[in-house]
Structure 1
Amino acid sequence: MMGLASWLGFGSKAPAGSSAGSVPAVVVNLSGMRGQTVEKLWRDQPNLRTVTNFLARNVAQLGLHVFEPGVDGNNARTKEGPLADLIRTPNPDQTTYELIFDLVATLALYDIAYWFVAPDDKSTSGWIIRPIRPTWITDTKTDGAFAILHYEVSLPEVTESIVIKSEDMLVFHGWNPEDTRIGSSPVSALKSILSEQISAQRYRQQRWDNGGRIDAYITRPADAPDWQGPAKEKWVKQYKESYTGNTGINAGGTPLLEDGMEFKKLGFSSKEDEYIDSAKLALTTVASVYHVNPVMVGILDNANYSNVKEFSRMLYSDTLGPTLRMIQDRINTFLAPRIAPDQIVEFNVKEKMRGSFEEEASSLQTAVGSPWMTADEARATQNMPALGGNAALLVANLNQTPTASATEQPGGAPDTEEVQP
């Protein structure tokens, strides 16, 4: 018991009357189809793994930055303070990337994720974040239909459980029409398509296990002359040496057929069995449930350079935008005030939304109206030494001069004519 509490940071024994089954439980239905759990489906079903990993990787790579709101409405990024330290090193075993990857992947599979947040004297920030698997939540203590008082947590291979108070648990979850405190796993919506894929995989495996091991054979007509003795042995030996695993110098050639023989080819036809189309349909369906454009996960039938470029930009607005907003709001509402009340976090989406260097350079020059980089700054991008002198100055065209505002004319007074009464 103490070992588990120590691993989490701190904990307490379950209050009297709070054992499993004695209080209303708010847990997620984790059972998959045909007795398969969500974890096993993720391990075995490539389409589900492809889409969930795609979401987690693309969110985790953004980076989670800490900002201090300014009086002018502009947020200034800071790398100092307990919140920045906590985000940079959430616990002794994870980086920021790993923490966010785990969070998004867990949300994708279960539609709910838990962070245990508690003070920690050993960390630089004075705090620690430990992800808690949804499968570890065995029971909860509720207060009516809205609040949860504590969570009962059990780790694998640990006999005793501990209780974590709700204020020490940061919960991320989606929407559930039956209970607003938990989400509803998207895997449930994929029950039919995943079940079909499981059946298809089992069928193909059975065909490989039970089917014949030949993909071609040779026939002789019924009225062909009797084939016995050295002639038959010679032909069979020649065929095996040329066209079977024991290849010889004639490997890859055309078989020489005698006495009206015919070459019959057998084999698996992916077109007739519609295997490729069914595989594409399965991946498209999984992607649609997670609001991912199928082109982004490998369905390239109608892809071209222009639409792939636009789909990449849409990824961080339409596809990942709601998830990013939800995570930011949960952290800024329930975590940041405990750690640093005057700071907030934001995902670094701007870096991903920026265009290519050529597009950005052209737009900046259009906005400024003149060159916006010195020669030395340009040389630095190519790892070339600075020249100094005029190379450190910003070049401006002679026909371009800054314009003064209407109230900043020479003499310090507006350039207006006095109107006589």
Structure 2
Amino acid sequence: MNEAAVLKNQPAVRKVTTFIAESVASVPIHLHRRISDNDRERVTDHALALALREPLPRMTSVRFWHDVMMDRLIHDRYCIVWAFDRDERLTLTRIPAKRTKFYGDGFGDVRRIRVAMPDGSTVKLEPSQCVYDVGYSVGSSPNGLSPIETLSDILDESREAVGYRRSVWQNGARIPQVVRRPATAPKWSKEARSRFMRGLEAYRRGGGKEGKWLLLEDDMEITGASASAFRPKDTLDLEGRKLTDIEVAAAYHVPPELVGSREGTYSNIDAFQKMLYGPVLGHHFARNEQAINAQLVPDVTDGDDPIYAEYAIEAKMRGSFLDQAKVGQTVVGRPTMTVNEWRARMNMSAVDGGDELIVPMNVTVGGQASPTDVPGRPADDE
């Protein structure tokens, strides 16, 4: 099946894959250095950190990782070539999945990568030059199995249904009514009947008079059609599209409510949103992180430098500012912002003495554990 045609002509596939790709690409990848088991530091001046922020000159990381994710979601594989340019800057170049083919040793281990160039030539790449990921392959060739292949029957059925509904809308009557001519009317001549039929054709789609009132000849009348006449709702257009959307979302392990394929309540939508950057997209983050740390980090860093890449997922999983303020106050046991920090958020000027963190009088060593405690509350051991 032509994956490009599917992405172009199947709204359900486009909806689900772009949702996943944009959600993953919007999370930045940070570089960290491990100091100890309980201590990490953010690395921002390393060549790899710059490449993760800007893979190529003037290319944003969101656009780059969006395209990489689309390769894996549509073709079940992706390939990135890394290199140092003449300015000793580390660059990351995405090779479109449709131009790559992986060759293995019969056990699924990639040994070489062949790239079909636009001019018809081919280029061989060593795996050590690339960051790549391949899904599960059913054969001996390690090229993955596109989800589009698994969905092909459902997508073909959807395409046929859309074609049928389009034909019905093009050829069916715009109103379920019948023109009657009484048997006692004067006999029609061929010229008169042909003239009437030609005029009637003008009221169909593309005839130029659709939507206007039909001018009848003498003794003719318009009556309602029978109950078996075509009705637009009989095509089940909306139901068919929803079913296809749900099947595609399920194939990519995404709750249909998140992509608008199925209606949900406020409570379950809120729960699905909290799951988005955990169980729903967690395996995408893990696969990309492990590919970078296993195939790229050792080759572009000092072997003794414990550097690793990690998605900043916590930035997406933070609650509202009100939720953060409540949790922070409870965990720390005191306010977490100074007066001037708050005034800066409100676009107000600083005041004298506003740079000190206020500690409430009821928060002291041996006193209440949190300013949110209720005065006079009995102790737990009582």
Q: TM-score, normalised by structure 2?
A: 0.80
CA contact (8 A) 2:130 2:295 kept: no
Three-state SS of the structure 2 residue aligned to 1:322 is helix
Counterpart selection for 2:247 from 285, 298, 309: 285
User: Hey, what's the Cα distance between the residues in 1 that align with 2:73 and 2:340?
Assistant: 47
The superposition leaves residues 114-140 of structure 1 with CA deviations (integer Å, 9 ceiling, x where unpaired) of 1112232235xx322111122212574
* Map 1:141-152 → 2, pairs under 5 A: 142-143=104-105, 145-152=107-114
User: Hey, what's the Cα distance between the residues in 1 that align with 2:343 and 2:164?
Assistant: 62
CA contact (8 A) 2:117 2:123 kept: no
Q: TM-score, normalised by structure 1?
A: 0.73
Structure 1 residue 304: Cα displacement: 1.7
CA contact (8 A) 2:99 2:115 kept: yes
> What's the counterpart of residue 271 of structure 2?
310
* Map 1:21-36 → 2, pairs under 5 A: 32=1
- Classify 1:162/1:400 alpha carbon distance in 2 versus 1 (closer, same or farther; 3 Å): closer
> What's the counterpart of residue 333 of structure 2?
369
User: Hey, what's the Cα distance between the residues in 1 that align with 2:234 and 2:177?
Assistant: 21
Three-state SS of the structure 1 residue aligned to 2:296 is helix
- Classify 1:305/1:50 alpha carbon distance in 2 versus 1 (closer, same or farther; 3 Å): same
CA contact (8 A) 2:165 2:237 kept: no
> What's the counterpart of residue 41 of structure 1?
6
User: Hey, what's the Cα distance between the residues in 1 that align with 2:225 and 2:319?
Assistant: 53
- Classify 1:291/1:109 alpha carbon distance in 2 versus 1 (closer, same or farther; 3 Å): same
Q: How many residues align structurally?
A: 345
> What's the counterpart of residue 332 of structure 1?
293
> What's the counterpart of residue 188 of structure 1?
149
- Classify 1:319/1:270 alpha carbon distance in 2 versus 1 (closer, same or farther; 3 Å): farther
> What's the counterpart of residue 107 of structure 1?
72
Whether 1:295 and 2:260 are equivalent positions in the alignment is no
User: Hey, what's the Cα distance between the residues in 2 that align with 1:364 and 1:252?
Assistant: 67
User: Hey, what's the Cα distance between the residues in 2 that align with 1:352 and 1:94?
Assistant: 23
CA contact (8 A) 2:182 2:220 kept: no
CA contact (8 A) 1:51 1:287 kept: yes
- RMSD of equivalent CA atoms: 3.3
> What's the counterpart of residue 135 of structure 1?
98
* Map 1:232-251 → 2, pairs under 5 A: none
The superposition leaves residues 74-122 of structure 1 with CA deviations (integer Å, 9 ceiling, x where unpaired) of 3211211111121122123632111110111111111111111223223
Runs of 5+ unmatched residues, structure 1:
1-31, 227-239, 405-421
Q: Which range moved further: 354-363 or 54-63?
A: 354-363
CA contact (8 A) 2:17 2:70 kept: yes
User: Hey, what's the Cα distance between the residues in 2 that align with 1:294 and 1:47?
Assistant: 11
Runs of 5+ unmatched residues, structure 2:
187-201, 368-382
CA contact (8 A) 2:136 2:145 kept: yes
Three-state SS of the structure 2 residue aligned to 1:57 is helix
- Classify 1:74/1:259 alpha carbon distance in 2 versus 1 (closer, same or farther; 3 Å): farther
* Map 1:6-21 → 2, pairs under 5 A: none
CA contact (8 A) 1:224 1:259 kept: no
> What's the counterpart of residue 81 of structure 1?
46
Q: Which range moved further: 112-121 or 329-338?
A: 112-121
> What's the counterpart of residue 234 of structure 2?
272
Counterpart of 1:204 in structure 2: which amino acid?
A: R
Three-state SS of the structure 1 residue aligned to 2:36 is coil
> What's the counterpart of residue 164 of structure 1?
125
The superposition leaves residues 289-310 of structure 1 with CA deviations (integer Å, 9 ceiling, x where unpaired) of 0000000111243x12221111
